[in-house]
Structure 1
Amino acid sequence: MPDAPETGDGVPVDPTGSRRDASARRPAITGEGVTAIESQLRAMRSDAEQHIAHARAEFDQANERLKQRTGRDLIVATLIGVGIGAVVVASLIFVKWLFVLFAAAAMVLGVFEFSRALQVAGRRVDVVPQLVMGFLLLLSGFFLSPWIHWVSTLVAVVVVIVWRLVAQLFAADGRAHIDVIGDVLVAGFVQMYVPFLTSAAMILLAQERGEWWVLAFLILAVVADTGAYVSGLTFGRGGRHPMAPRISPKKTWEGFAGACVAALAAGAILAVFMLQVPWWAGLIFGAVVLATATVGDLGESMVKRDLGIKDMSSWLPGHGGVLDRLDSILPSATAALVMFYLLHTLGVS
């Protein structure tokens, strides 16, 4: 056979013209390159994993310090709060009657966990009639006239009280009279505290542009709570000047000052751009909601301290129970309704 042709440098080539030695050396060079690249990639990945692990450890430590100072998981609480806020805003802006369903669900959960907490504390609470009458009372606030709603409120309170008395009569367990009276008062209080105050928001929602007023007082309550939280965490470390040490040791005057600034500023902005009322009316609105939200917050803290519990439940991670989130909102609903009627009666627009 004839010898294979050679290139100019004397390297044999096959009939296709490729170099034998070059093709033999190419895989070795490529393999060395791939090995070097893989080593670099493994080193980079290991370095990135170390940085991620270090950053995660620092984040966990910072989050743990926040939990120790605030008593709750701030990250989880924020995510849940944002999710609930998105549902509320969407329901109010697009189809406001959907907010009735959302409010009804929150009211039912609030009544249920409050009733269970009272039962654990030794009170006799009839959960089913409380839920049924509370639901009907809430619907009357949205679908019926305000005057009929007042009649519905009276009926709801009478029904739960009579139910408790009849149930106690059939129980015949020798319960002390003072305890029976306490159970009756508690039955009426549950109805007035959760369903009635929630129904005030439904009355406001049913008004013309009422959805914007509901959204405004919800924003004010949240802004005031956030302002108090940030200001108290920044300037009131260690409870420097506690507001009510026997009721809620972590609430400080520094936090209240931050809540006041935030609520007044938000009230003026919401008045002009959302409620279409003068800015000074927004200042009054912000101050009223701040006052009712603070009273509601301290009031629920006092109830929980009397019951010997920290949270009404653990249904909302980072927040506690549903009622723990409604404590400042419930009384603010009535305040917002009063402000709405007052400003419209005076012709302020």
Structure 2
Amino acid sequence: MAGPVGELEHGSLEEGPVTSARAGEPAKTSRAGRNLPAAIGVGLFLGAAVLLSLLLVRQAFIGVVAIAVAVSTWELIDALKRGAGIQVARWPVLLGGQAIVWLSWPFGRAGVLTAFAVTVLVCLLARLRGGVDGYLRDTSASVLALAYVPLFASFAAMLVLPDDGVQRVVAFLVLVISSDTGGYIAGVLFGKHPMAPVISPKKSWEGFAGSMAAGIAAGVLCLTLLLDGQWWHGALFGGALVATATLGDLLESVMKRDLGVKDMGTLLPGHGGLMDRMDSLLPSAVVSWLLLSLFLPV
């Protein structure tokens, strides 16, 4: 899944055409600059993995979240080191991130908060071996990596815990996908006015409008048909997730520009790294859990 703002082209304006592995031939890309066959294939594979976990045993979705957290955290740690020489406490963050996600199942918010606090303490202590130089920089980055990926993702894991957890997760994912699709189409067809030219020049206000229209429509349908909620709850839910998905996409764009990297990783053909696909999902998971808990208390 790509960012939800309707990028006019994948990557930055300064980047040249994408080339294939054969003698510098241009890869097949869409008008938006993406390798669409590869991107669609990866998107379908990821979607099938999520749906399979939900249909078999809904708690298996927590395992999918845990795997995504491990890969995305590794990519973020590598990008911080590659782009700025920042030394994140890799293994405490990776292992603590798994504890944050998995403890959300039996203990909910208490387990998540406890695992997060303990892991932060371990990161602060582990970095003492490196001496004074760069201590604040490295420990701050460790806490950022821990909060941005596993802590935010744990809210997606907690979505599946109630009896109607499958529907809650499906609503969350459908809204992010709808936001992305609406923004992508509107951005490609009508995008002329940059939304944040310094941060991400190809994200347009027209794309954002397309995201908002698609997200609100999807929110109303999901809340009324899947979760027996009120239509206006769905409208608020859809609008809020478009806003947070857009913010998440822009936040990662800021990080990548600051680090001087195009993508966080190269794992997914046509998509970059897995972390590049998590940008809009992570903050949206937090808001999804908060709003659905408010609108549909267990």
Query: Given the alignment of the two structures, is residue 331 of structure 1 paired with residue 283 of structure 2, yes or no?
Result: yes
- The reply on whether 1:210 has 2:165 as its aligned counterpart is yes
Residue of 206, 228, 251 corresponding to 1:254:
206
Give 2:294's aligned residue: 342
State yes or no: 1:222 paired with 2:177: yes
Answer 1 or 2: which has greater helix percent. 1
1:233 and 2:188 correspond: yes
**Letter matched to residue 95 of structure 2:** V
Instruction: Report the number of matched residues.
Output: 273
Contact 2:29 2:36 in 1 (8 A): no
Paired residues of 1:315 and 1:322 also in contact (CA < 8 A): yes
What are the within-5 Å matches in structure 2 for residues 1-349 of structure 1? Answer: 64=28, 66=30, 69-120=31-82, 121-164=84-127, 166-169=128-131, 176=133, 179-236=134-191, 240-345=192-297
Percent of aligned pairs sharing the same letter: 39
User: In the alignment, is the contact (CA less than 8 A) between 1:63 and 1:74 conserved in 2?
Assistant: no
Say if 2:69 and 2:153, in contact at 8 Å, map to a contact too.
Answer: yes
Cα distance in 2 for partners of 1:200, 1:250 equals 30
Q: Within 2, Cα distance between the matches of 1:145 and 1:73?
A: 39
Asked if the contact 2:211/2:242 (under 8 Å) is kept, the reply is yes
Deviations 1:54-80 (A, max 9, x none): xxxxxxx997452xx423201110111
Q: Which has the larger radius of gyration?
A: 1
Question: CA contact under 8 A between 1:244 and 1:251: conserved in structure 2?
Answer: yes
SS of alignment partner, residue 79 of structure 2: helix
Matched to 1:209, the amino acid is D
- One-letter code aligned to 1:302: V
Q: Distance in 2 between matches of 1:167 and 1:329?
A: 35
Check conservation: 1:143, 1:206, Cα contact below 8 A.
no
Amino acid at match of 2:278: L
**Considering only aligned residues, what root-mean-square deviation do their CA atoms show, in Å?**
1.8
SS of match in other structure, 1:144: helix
CA gap 1:262/1:62 in 2 versus in 1, 3 angstroms: farther
Moved more, 113-122 or 203-212: 203-212
5+ long unaligned stretches in structure 1? 1-60, 170-174
Q: Which runs of 4+ in 1 moved over 4 A?
A: none
> Aligned partners of 2:206, 2:268: CA distance in 1, in Å?
27
Q: Report SS of the residue matched to 1:276.
A: coil
CA distance in 1, matches of 2:199, 2:44: 28
AA matched with 1:269: L
Query: Comparing both chains, which one has the higher relative contact order based on Cα–Cα distances under 8 Å and sequence gaps of 6 or more?
Result: 2
What per-residue deviation string (whole Å, max 9, x for no partner) do you get for residues 155-212 of structure 1? 1222222212x2313xxxxx63xx3211111010000000101111112211221221
